[in-house]
Amino acid sequence: MNKIESVKKMGNVKKLLLLTFVSLLLLSCAKDIFVPPPTSLRGFYIGRYFVINNVSGSTITREDVVHWTFTDATHICVFPSLTVRKFCDFSGSYTVESNLSLTIAQVATQICNLDDVPEDVFSIRWVRPDDAADTLYIEQFDIPNDRKKIAVLARQPDATN
């Protein structure tokens, strides 16, 4: 009986050691793959801004070039188009947690549709290709109004370097 009990105990010891090893491995790996979201988008970006509306079964897409500057807590968005303006310039504050929250404090005195100004909560994701500028995707899907607002922004090199 003693040998059988010692084998059973040894089996439990092996199981406990294996469980401990796997737990430590998982805990150490979790630290390696967890990437906290950025708390600041600080920088100057150039890209395109899209507003996509579905009206009576038809999709209407408007887009324009955008220059967007983010400081630690504020943002300024300018549409440099010299021809027909599609969107208003605007500025305000922002926060980044799991999503991007934009607040608009001022809209330029231009003729435009204020519903096109990006305000509220947006999904955010980075694409970091090896051979190009970091690209920031900002998207909002307004389901009740069947509208999408999307910005695709390439981070520009820092002018202070």
Domain boundaries, the chain: 1-34, 43-155
Cβ atoms of 108 and 88 within 8 Å: the answer is yes
pLDDT on residue 102: 93
* pLDDT of amino acid 83: 73
Which residue numbers in the chain have pLDDT < 50? 6-7, 18, 22, 29-36, 161
Report pLDDT for 139: 95
- What CA–CA distance (Å, rounded) separates 107 from 118? 11
Q: Who's near 60: CB < 8 A, 6+ residues apart?
A: 52, 53, 54
pLDDT reported for residue 144: 84
Name the residue among 96, 115, 116, 94 with its Cα closest to residue 104: 94
Whether this model's pTM surpasses 0.75: no
* pLDDT tens for each residue of 65-99: 999 999 999 999 999 887 777 898 999 999 998 89
The pLDDT, as a whole number, for residue 132 is 67
Q: Which CATH number fits domain 43-155: 2.40.128, 3.30.70, 1.10.1760, 3.30.1330?
A: 2.40.128
